[in-house]
Structure 1
Amino acid sequence: MLAIVMFSMGCTVEAHKLWGHVKKPWGISIGFLCQFGLMPLIAFALSLAFGVLPVQAIVIIIMGCCPGGSGSNIICYWLDGDMDLSISMTACSSILALGMMPLCLLIYTTTWTTGSPIQIPYDSIGITLAALLIPIAVGMYVKRRWPEQAKKILKVGSIAGFLLIIIIAVVGGVLYQSSWTIAPSLWIIGTIYPFIGFSLGFLMARFVGQPWYRCRTIALETGFQNSQLCSTIVQLSFNAEELEVMFAFPLIYSIFQLVVAVICVGSYQLYKKRFKRDADGSDSEAADSDVGLHKIRALENYGFEGNEGSIGAVKSNDKNTKL
């Protein structure tokens, strides 16, 4: 299902723009700093501030060290972000996670870990990367060969992708409802962490002078973590007793990052409609004022006949007046 959705997202991507982001990776570099600099640091600070259990602190930091999730690409489409930048950032963060995740976990989890090291599922990262890049490449080819069909695929895929994110969050909540009985501190962290990630990513991008649509893109890539990868790491690294007090956090984070995304998409789409309506009204007012001004000039100069034709017709009448 993810591959089908990413195929439709690939129908928005142009190869030369994607390559441009790779050749001059300003946006990718900012996203990298936010993804593997800010997010693990925020996770570490929240764990200390709320005084959670060691295993709970570890799962929070694992979430902060994960690369960006593919859901950010779908939300980026609905927020009119830079799709080429979004996809390149998701791909690059997944590749860089192979080295950055172990490094960040080593730095931030030593305060709580005393046993065996955390296992990084490199095969899961590779599968995620393949499920991202191969369908996007096919979508780019379709866009190049059949641009009209690509537009139709994109419309269907964008709606299906948005619904898919909601379905995954709801099904995950139902299947793992036995894990919801956890400490209130994890609920609070899981609620505010996505908001902090989105906000700081947006502010960082704006601080370095990125345009608004790229600020939205970088914010999404910062706040949207690969929660499925976090769940996989947790299941591989901890026993059943430890899982009972920590497994719900990835689900909580994924639900509230979806809540943030829905709020942002809804607010932005309402703003677009309002802005378009205001723009249409101002255009009609401007057209009415032009017609009114034309009529006034026709009354002042008897050579004008006051028709609402083209500028060329007005000039012709003016010439006749002079004659």
Structure 2
Amino acid sequence: MARLSRSSMSVLAFPIIIIFAGLLGLVFHEQASALGPAITPLLGVVMFFMGMTIALPDLKILATKPHAVILGAIAQYIIMPLAGLGVGVALQLDPILIVGMVVLGSAPGGASSNIVAYLANGNVALSVCTTAVSTLVAPLMTPLLILWLAGSYVDVSFAAMLKQILTIVLIPVLLGVLVRIVAKRLVSRLSSVIPWLSIAALAVVIAGIMAANAQVLASALGMVFVAVVLHNAFGFALGWAAARLARLGYRERRAISVEVGMQNAGLAAALCHQNFEPMSALPSAVATIWHNVAGALLATGFGVVDSHNHRTNQKKERQKIA
């Protein structure tokens, strides 16, 4: 019962905190704009906490179900960048916004996807491992995909992005993993606090991102919101389809669906801020909020399906007894 209560609280609290932080950034954008210089370091903090949540037993799935992990990572880096470009072109977005959609789609999995996979009764170990793998290969894959798909719209520096992702993502994650190995007992004691520290850091990042984009949000928010929602929905649906075609179990399908559909939007926004025009970060700014809301809705939907199936099974059992 305690576990159920914590899950219910997380479903409600996580997206609410994210939405509240985004609204604060928009309403008090002049004050929150001071958070701009802290966005990149705080993203590193979020990645560090993510590294601390990666337990070596979680990575054993690489040995037992390597095909599932590889499928999740490949599906994410094929489906989402192409979907980002396709949605942007189909909706006839401004070229710089198409670039933003490509950057969002080319980002690795977000740490919040692991929380959503847990709430959705998915295979959490698969979710964690897939996020770790997509993050580890991000310094190579993300700049390559952006160069390939967005290079015709803007100048893309592969070397600069490689350095940025190493600094923001890979090094902090590896440090977090190292701290967990060296100070296992301490990390275990803090295990209930770490997710909330990560959410707090992410909330500050989102407030800063929304404040930085407050001036351009009004001009293109409607179409960008539609684009982000469609992009996210394609990720969930095509991730599920890919896992089903691979004949994975239902919990694995849920984990892959979540992994493919949810990106590290904060990282995407930071890359846009550092490399392109401010408006390019608008899709990622919207996604920092929407992905978490959509993830909570998806988890709730899966919960409804589970409840229905449970009731159906109970009814069948009663009919057999009768």
SS of the equivalent of 1:112 reads coil
Match of residue 182 from structure 1: 219
**Matches for 1:235-250 after TM superposition, within 5 Å:** 235-238=273-276, 242-243=277-278, 245-250=279-284
Say whether the 8 Å CA contact 2:119–2:299 is kept in structure 1. Answer: yes
SS in 2 for 1:69: coil
Higher helix share: 2
Matches within 5 A, 1:198-277: 198-238=236-276, 242-243=277-278, 245-272=279-306
**Does 2:98 correspond to 1:57?**
yes
Higher RCO, 1 vs 2 (CA within 8 Å, ≥6 residues apart) = 2
Structure 2: distance between partners of 1:74 and 1:103: 28
1:268-310, CA deviations, whole angstroms, 9 ceiling, x for partnerless residues?
Answer: 3455566667778988x69xx69xxxxxxxxxxxxxxxxxxxx
User: Could you tell which deviates more after superposition, 45-54 or 77-86?
Assistant: 77-86
CA 141–79 in structure 1, closer or farther in 2 if over 3 Å, else same: farther
Rounded to whole Å, the distance in 1 between the matches of 2:274 and 2:162 is 8
> Would you say the 8 A contact 2:110–2:131 is kept in 1?
yes
2: distance between equivalents of 1:171 and 1:107? 29
Q: Which amino acid aligns with 2:46?
A: L
SS of 1:52's equivalent in the other structure is: coil
Instruction: Give me the identity figure in percent.
Output: 20
What count of residue pairs does the alignment treat as equivalent? 276
Q: Structure 1 pair 271/222, CA: closer, same or farther in 2 (3 Å)?
A: same
Q: Shift of the alpha carbon at 1:99?
A: 1.6
Task: Indicate conservation of the 8 Å contact 1:74/1:161, yes or no.
Answer: no
Cα deviation for residue 201 of structure 1 reads 0.6
1:175-217 Cα deviation digits (max 9, x unpaired): 6433321323222102221111111111111111011111111
1:2 is aligned to 46
Task: Note the aligned Cα RMSD (angstroms).
Answer: 3.7
Please say which of residues 175-184 and 53-62 is displaced more in the overlay.
175-184
Choose 1 or 2 for highest CA Rg. Answer: 1
SS in 2 for 1:182: helix
* 3-state DSSP of counterpart to 1:38: helix
Quick one: structure 1 residues 59 and 139, their matched pair in 2 at CA, closer, same or farther if it must change by over 3 Å?
same
Q: Deviations over 1:234-266 (max 9, x none)?
A: 12212xxx31x3332211122211121110222
Native 8 Å contact 2:147 2:156 kept in 1: no
CA distance in 1, matches of 2:116, 2:242: 19
Preserved CA contact (<8 Å) 2:47 2:168 = no
TM-score (norm 1): 0.70
CA contact (8 A) 2:206 2:266 kept: no
Confirm or deny: 8 A CA contact 1:91 1:129 kept in the other structure.
no
- What SS class does the counterpart of residue 137 from structure 2 fall into? helix
Offset of residue 81 of structure 1 = 2.3
Summarize the Cα distance change of 1:76–1:155 in structure 2 as closer, same or farther, 3 Å threshold. Answer: farther
Q: Is the 8 A contact 2:61 2:129 kept in 1?
A: no
Alpha-carbon distance, 1:30 to partner = 0.8
User: Is this contact kept in 1: 2:117–2:127, CA < 8 A?
Assistant: yes
Unaligned residue ranges in structure 2 (runs of 5+): 1-44
Q: What is the Cα deviation at residue 142 of structure 1?
A: 7.9
| Superposition map of 1:164-183 within 5 A | 169=206, 172-173=209-210, 176-183=213-220
Deviations, residues 93-133 of structure 1 (Å, cap 9, x unaligned) = 122122222321222123323x4646415344444234434
TM-score by length of 2: 0.70
- For residues 247 and 3 of structure 1, what CA distance do their matches in structure 2 show? 20
**Deviation for aligned residue 1:167:** 7.3
What CA distance in whole angstroms lies between the structure 1 residues aligned with 2:227 and 2:79? 16
After the TM superposition, which residues 273-288 of structure 1 pair with which residues of structure 2 at under 5 Å, given as runs?
Answer: none
Task: Give the direction of change, closer, same or farther, for the CA distance of 1:262–1:20 in structure 2 (3 Å limit).
Answer: closer
Q: Is the 8 A contact 2:100 2:283 kept in 1?
A: yes
Q: Unmatched 5+ residue regions in structure 1? A: 291-323
| Maintained 8 Å contact 1:3/1:132 | yes
Give, as a single letter, the amino acid of the residue that structure 1 aligns with 2:269.
S
- Shift of residue 48 of structure 1? 1.6
Give CA deviations for 1:207-232 in whole Å, capped at 9, x if unaligned.
11011111111111111111121112
Q: Deviations over 1:70-111 (max 9, x none)?
A: 111222222232222222211211221222223212221233
The aligned residue for residue 299 of structure 1 is: none
